[in-house]
Amino acid sequence: MSVAIPETKVVLKDIKKSFTTKNGTLQVLDGISLEVRENEFLVLFGPGQCGKTVLLNVMAQLEEPDAGQVIYSDNRKVYGNIGVVFQQYAIYPWKTVLENVEMNGKFKGVPKEKRRKEAMEYIKLVGLEGFEKSYPSQLSGGMKQRVGIARAYATNSDIILMDEPFGALDAQTRYQMQEEILRIWQQKKCTIVFITNNVEEAVTLGDRIVLLSNKPCQVVEEFVPDLPRPRNNMDPRFLELRNEIASKVDLAL
Ligand SMILES: Nc1ncnc2c1ncn2[C@@H]1O[C@H](COP(=O)(O)OP(=O)(O)OP(=O)(O)O)[C@@H](O)[C@H]1O
């Protein structure tokens, strides 16, 4: 029996990035190399301020690295062709849910009828059916982030980058959204690169967890949880892995 080997979607090769600040040069990324595979849920986990957002911006080609390469398997032009979900919702307050979700299609000149139909599908996928005409101010934090997820999916990208998307939510909503993102990803498979500084979230979500060190940020170790989904955070194996990773973060600090 042949086993399908997942295709590599993105390769990061020895990425370095520094900034010039009033206190001198701040080396943020210091030689990051990793591979992102087709349809995996990859978690990048590291302490606060270690450089996760900078790394994601480099992957999204919003930021130019000083050295190293970001290579997409299909040589794509990334801008506008990759879905990104940000921590602070980043949705337009003066636009409705539907208008926010169809925004990318509008920029790309997709005919109105087609982009509306697609946007409605994604609104349904994220559980916001019935709220198409609502404005962000009428939505809870979790619902706003559902809009962000639907908008990212509506780019029709096979890769979605998520920068601590649940970081601003209260604990209860955060748990609920973790279940939701897994349901959405299992229903509509794509590659997700998910940033978090929460170890429990990392173990709940990741097919693979890449532990990053504090600045200057490097890859410390990779973990592949051998835990069935849905994962139970009271399972002794879950706790063991969570503790192992957490102990290595302390070392990294
Ligand atoms: N444009 C910039 N100019 C100067 N310093 C920057 C710039 N962008 C990021 N930094 C610095 O790079 C470091 C890493 O920032 P980054 O936002 O990537 O951290 P993070 O790991 O995402 O943090 P958090 O988990 O708190 O969101 C920080 O010290 C930040 O101040």
> Nearest residue CA, atom 9 of ligand 1?
54
> Nearest residue CA, atom 1 of ligand 1?
19
47 lines ligand 1 (CB under 6 A): no
24 lines ligand 1 (CB under 6 A): no
Pairing state of beta strands 41-45 and 191-196?
parallel
pLDDT digits (tens, 9 = 90+) for 120-155: 999 999 999 999 999 999 999 999 999 999 999 999
Residue 145, token pair as written in the block = 């982030």
214 lines ligand 1 (CB under 6 A): no
Q: Are 202 and 181 in contact (CB under 8 A)?
A: no
Q: How many whole angstroms from its chain centre is CA 3?
A: 27
Confidence at 90, pLDDT banded by 50, 70, 90: confident
Q: Which atom of ligand 1 is nearest to the CA of 20?
A: 4
pTM value?
Answer: 0.94
**Cis peptide upstream of residue 228 (ω within 30 degrees of 0):** no
Q: How many whole angstroms from its chain centre is CA 81?
A: 15
